[in-house]
Amino acid sequence: MTTITPPFGNQEGTPGDATDRFSPAAGQPGTLTAVSHADQYRTTPPRPERRRPTPLVDLAARLGIEPPAAGGGVEVSGITHDSRAVRPGDLYAALAGARMHGAEFVAQAAGLGAAAVLTDPAGADRAAATGLPVLVTEDPRGTMGDLAAEIYGRPGADLLQIGITGTSGKTTTAYLVEGGLRGAGKATGLVGTVEMRIGDERIKSERTTPEATDLQALFAVMRERGTEAVAMEVSSHALVLGRVDGCVFDVAVFNNLSPEHMEFHSDMEDYFQAKARLFTPERSRVGVVNLDDAYGRRLAAEATIPVVTFSAAGSPDADWRAEDVVSGMADSTFTAVGPDGVRIPATAPLPGPFNVANTLAAIATLATAGIDPKTAADGVAAVPGVPGRLEKVDAGQPFLAVVDYAHKTDAVESVLRSLREVTPGRLHIVIGCGGDRDTTKRGPMGAAAARLADTAVLTSDNPRSEDPLAILTAMLTGAAAVPAAERGEVLVDADRAAAIAAAVDRARPGDTVLVAGKGHEQGQEVAGAVRPFDDRLVLREAIERRLSRPEPPVGSGASVTPDAPDPQDAPRHQNSQG
C-alpha cells in the first residue's frame, strides 16, 4: 500500500513499513476475493414461443434485392447475429467484426438449423458454400434491426416505449420510470445496463442496449406475455451501431452529456451527434430534455421532434422544474412544478441533487406519456432502490457505506459532493478506471477523488488486457497534480479487495465509505478472465471483519510521510464543496 498524505510531500518510508503494492508483483496471482452468489438471472436472451414465419422473398424485397435462387419457399422464423444462438428457421446475420468475420461461423449456424444467411459481399462466398440461401447487402448491420422487427411482427408498436439516453443517470432514470409505470398499473418491461426484466423475470444484461436481433425478440416476448410499457436505456453505441433500428420510441429522454467513450467517439461533437439521433422523427415521437445541461439546451433547440424540458435547478424556462428541494441521507423531497400550474409533492428515492434531476426527469417523462403526474410521482417515490447506484451496505457499522457505479469524472464529482453534504465526518473513496476504455479520464478521475475526498484509495476496476500499474500511474498523476493543501490522503493498491478493506479500516463513526466504479457488477475482468467480484459483498465482508476486531487500526500501510498527522483526525478541508 502506498500512501500520499499532504501537506508534507513525498518522503521515503521507514524500514519495516508494509509492502508497497503499487506493482504487479505484490500479492499472489488470483488473490482477488472470490464472491459466491446465487445467479438470479436468466443468462440467454429469450425468444417468443409463438412465431409467424416470414417468407425469405419478403425480406429480400425489404432490402431491395433479388431473392436468392435457392430461397424459393424458404421461411424465416427468427434472426440472430450469434452463430451459437441459432435456432431452426433462423436468419443468421454474418457481420464483419473487429477481429474476424461472422461468415467464418456459417457452417456452425447451418448445423444448428439456420434457414438462410444475411451478410455483406465479403462474406457472400463463404455463406453460399453452405448451400443456404444468402441475402447479400453492403450494410447488413444497418438492415438487421429493421429485418428483426419485421420477422417478429413489429412488436414495439404494441408497447409504450420510453428510451433514456445521456452520459449519467440512464439506469436510475429507467428504474424510476419503470416504477412510475408500475404505480400506474402497467405491466412493465425494463432494458438496461444492470438487467432486462419482463414483469418479474430478470435476464442478465451483456451491454446497456442489446443488439437489434435480441432486442426485437425481447419486445416480442414482452408482447406475448402482456407487457404494456417498457423503459429502456439507449446508449450512443446503440444509436451508431443500429441496435435500436426498428424502434420508434414514444418518449425519448436526455439526461446530460459529459466526456465518455472517447475511445469510440472522435470528440464531444461526435458524441453529441450520436445522442441527437434519438431525437429525430425516425427514432422518437417526443423528447424530454434536461435544460440544466448545456448540451441539453442545445438539443432542445435543435431537435426535430417536439420537446418537453425539465430543470432540477428550477429554471423558469423549463416545462417542469423542481422547487423546495430538501436533501437527506436517504432521499430528497421537492415539489415538481409542471405545465398549467401543476404542483406535485415528489420524493427522489435516492440521495443527491443528481437524483432529484433523475426523479424529475422520470415524472416529466411519465406525464408526457399520458400518466397522471401525481400517480407517476407516487410510483417513482416507491422505487426501493437501484442496484449499484448509491446502494447502501449495512452490517451494523457506525458509518455509512455505499456502492455506486460512478465511473467517469463528472459522476465521481457529483456523488462525492452529494455524500459530503450528508457526511458529518470524513469521506473515503475507493476508485479505479477500466482498461481498454477511454484513457483521457484517468487523470481527471484521480484528481477528483483526491480533491473531493478525505481519503482516496486508487485501485483496479476492470483492467481487462491492460497492465493495472499503467492505469494506476495515470490516475496517480492526476491526483498528484492537485495542490497538496487541497488534496486528501491518497493510497494506491491494485488489489481491489485490499483497497476496500483499507478504506473501511480508516472509517470512524460519522464517516462515509464510497466504493465507486463497478456498482452492480458481479465480476472483475483481468487479463481475459472474469473473476467473481461484487463490490457490495466484498465491502460487507470488510466491514464484518472490521467489526469482529476489538479495536480497529488507526491505519495501515507504508506512509511516505512519517511525521504526518493522524489520518483519522477531523475532516481535512471543506474545498470539496467547490
Q: Please state the residue numbers annotated as binding site.
A: 83, 166-172, 208-209, 235, 243, 437, 461-464, 517, 521
Whether 568 and 10 have beta carbons less than 8 Å apart is answered as no
With b meaning 16 or more CB within 10 Å and e meaning fewer, what string describes 452-480? bbbbbbbbbbbbbebebbebbbbbbebbb
Long-range contact pairs involving 21-30 (C-beta distance under 8 Å, separation at least 24): 21/492, 21/493, 21/494, 21/495, 21/498, 22/469, 22/472, 22/492, 22/493, 22/494, 23/469, 23/494, 24/467, 24/468, 24/469, 24/494, 26/494, 26/495, 27/494, 27/495, 27/498, 30/531
Query: CA dist 493 to 22, 351, 473, 517, Å?
Result: 6, 29, 11, 15
Whether 320 and 334 have beta carbons less than 8 Å apart is answered as no
The span from the CA of 189 to the CA of 199, in Å, is 6
Please give the annotated binding residues for meso-2,6-diaminopimelate, written as ranges: 437, 461-464, 517, 521
75-76 and 78-80 strand pairing: unpaired
Whether 292 and 311 have beta carbons less than 8 Å apart is answered as yes
Grid cell locating 70: 435457392
Please give the annotated binding residues for ATP, written as ranges: 166-172
Around Cβ 491, how many Cβ atoms within 10 Å?
A: 30
Query: CA dist 325 to 11, 57, 375, Å?
Result: 46, 59, 20
Grid cell locating 376: 407517476
CA nearest neighbour of 457 among 576, 556, 573, 354? 556
Around 158, how many Cα atoms within 13 Å sit in the side-chain half-sphere? 17
